[in-house]
């Protein structure tokens, strides 16, 4: 994970940057994001239900009970699929960061808790919100809508689409914190996992 720098923190405060009121650790952010996990899942399932003829009964959800059979090849495929979904999810954060290819302050990484994209560029509020919500909108809203309309949804696709939707809960928590706390005209930047903002005159 990107490291918090105390000296950078002091310099930002001295330059009139204001810390965002946000969870200080990833585990606490995950706990606080649980309501968004359920909300995201309901949104995605609703889209699948209304825009396709796909039924969750085509997966391991079978009405009164959840049934599944474990096979080694399925487990290996699941692990690979989750890893690829993680990379794709983070890629859709990354591509909306301006000049991410040339930037020395922007990078992507993996941890035990999942992936992350980090940049210490100064971003507009609109850009920050776009970066935050892009993977959820693209992979768990637009993808099931388009695939559903054309009848191309499969059980494995639905599984990973819903998994991405639930995994985007921390992104949506961050989106909401920035949306509510930060003025429209402000710029935003990060120091490790902490977020700061200020209105430039």
What is the tens place of the pLDDT at every residue in 66-112? 555 667 787 888 889 999 999 999 999 999 999 998 888 898 988 77
DSSP for residue 139: I
Query: Which of 62-71, 121-130, 152-161, 166-175 shows the lowest per-residue confidence on average (mean pLDDT)?
Result: 62-71
| 63 assigned to some structural domain | no
| 5 assigned to some structural domain | no
Q: Is 132 helix (H, G, I), strand (E, B) or coil?
A: helix
For the residues 11-16, what does the mean pLDDT come to?
A: 96
| 17 assigned to some structural domain | no
Judge whether residue 61 has pLDDT over 80.
no
For the residues 129-149, what does the mean pLDDT come to?
A: 97
For the residues 23-36, what does the mean pLDDT come to?
A: 94
The whole-number pLDDT of residue 1 equals 76
| 50 assigned to some structural domain | yes
Q: Measuring CA to CA, which residue among 146, 128, 142, 137 is closest to residue 189?
A: 128
**Encoded tokens for 58:** 């085509």
For the residues 125-154, what does the mean pLDDT come to?
A: 96
Provide the mean pLDDT of the chain: 90
Q: Which residues pair with 106 in a beta bridge?
A: 119
Judge whether residue 149 has pLDDT over 70.
yes
Query: Which of 13-22, 48-57, 165-174 shows the lowest per-residue confidence on average (mean pLDDT)?
Result: 48-57
| 159 assigned to some structural domain | yes
Q: Which domain holds residue 92?
A: 23-54+70-198
The whole-number pLDDT of residue 70 equals 66
| 44 assigned to some structural domain | yes
Q: Measuring CA to CA, which residue among 60, 112, 114, 106 is closest to residue 87?
A: 114
The pTM score is 0.87
| 105 assigned to some structural domain | yes
Number of domains in the chain: 1
Judge whether residue 18 has pLDDT over 60.
yes
Q: In the β-sheet with 187-191, what is the strand arrangement from edge to edge?
A: 18-19, 194-198, 187-191, 123-124
For the residues 13-42, what does the mean pLDDT come to?
A: 95
| 1 assigned to some structural domain | no
- Percent of the chain whose pLDDT exceeds 70: 93
């Amino acid at each position: 994970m990107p490291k918090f720098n105390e000296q950078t923190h002091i310099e930002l405060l001295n330059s009139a940057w204001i810390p965002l009121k946000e969870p200080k650790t990833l585990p606490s952010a995950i706990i606080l994001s649980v309501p968004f996990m359920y909300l995201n899942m309901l949104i995605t399932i609703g889209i699948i239900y209304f825009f396709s003829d796909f039924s969750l009964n085509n997966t391991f959800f079978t009405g009164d009970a959840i049934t599944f059979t474990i096979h080694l090849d399925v487990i290996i495929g699941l692990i690979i699929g989750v890893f690829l979904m993680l990379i794709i999810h983070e890629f859709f954060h990354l591509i909306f960061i301006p000049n991410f290819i040339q930037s020395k302050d922007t990078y992507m990484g993996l941890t035990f808790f999942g992936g992350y994209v980090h940049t210490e560029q100064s971003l507009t509020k609109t850009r920050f919100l776009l970066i935050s919500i892009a993977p959820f909108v693209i992979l768990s809203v637009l993808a099931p809508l388009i695939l559903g309309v054309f009848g191309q949804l499969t059980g494995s696709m639905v599984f990973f689409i819903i998994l991405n939707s639930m995994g985007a809960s921390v992104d949506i928590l961050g989106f909401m914190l920035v949306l509510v706390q930060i003025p429209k005209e402000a710029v935003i930047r990060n120091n490790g996992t902490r977020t700061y903002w200020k209105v430039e005159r």
